[in-house]
């Protein structure tokens, strides 16, 4: 009875990790699209690929977190947690600290809310990735 409960808890935590990782990736994409649309609404068109570098820096950590969450929770690869930790560190620095400061200085409430939601999803993915790493070998999954 206890083993069944633990296995269902692990399955639930893997689902939460996957949702956190995919949510972080989607919010990073949404934040970068928001930046591009705000620039174009104020009459500043995209002139070169360098103009896309800033928004891409907001997408990159989310993609790394999403990929790591997928590999760990769906494919049962223990090294997926390294991608989640790396992506979370990049997300903390690039998105939460830098973009959040910019939105606070510009007094843009929508941008601040997107950054906060992105941070929450990244924290959920990070926390459940660490928990899943601890219980991965114990409660039955094949890993490399």
Q: Are 127 and 19 in contact (CB under 8 A)?
A: no
pTM for the model: 0.79
Q: Is residue 118 part of a domain?
A: yes
Domain that holds residue 94: 7-136
CA distance 79 to 66: 13
Q: Are 78 and 72 in contact (CB under 8 A)?
A: yes
Q: Is residue 141 part of a domain?
A: no
- Give the tens place of pLDDT for each residue, 4-42: 666 677 788 888 888 999 999 999 898 888 888 887 888
- Give the tens place of pLDDT for each residue, 65-90: 999 999 988 888 888 889 999 999 99
Q: Is residue 143 part of a domain?
A: no
């Amino acid at each position: 009875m206890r083993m069944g409960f633990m296995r269902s808890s692990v399955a639930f935590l893997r689902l939460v990790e996957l949702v956190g990782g995919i949510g972080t990736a989607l919010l990073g994409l949404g934040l970068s699209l928001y930046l591009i649309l705000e620039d174009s609404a104020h009459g500043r068109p995209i002139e070169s690929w360098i103009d896309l570098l800033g928004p891409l820096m907001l997408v990159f950590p989310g993609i790394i977190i999403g990929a790591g969450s997928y590999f760990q929770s769906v494919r049962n690869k223990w090294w997926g947690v390294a991608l989640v930790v790396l992506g979370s560190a990049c997300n903390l620095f690039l998105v939460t600290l830098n973009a959040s400061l910019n939105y606070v200085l510009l007094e843009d409430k929508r941008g601040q809310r997107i950054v906060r939601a992105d941070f929450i999803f990244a924290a959920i993915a990070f926390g459940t990735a660490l928990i899943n790493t601890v219980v991965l070998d114990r409660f039955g999954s094949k890993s490399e």
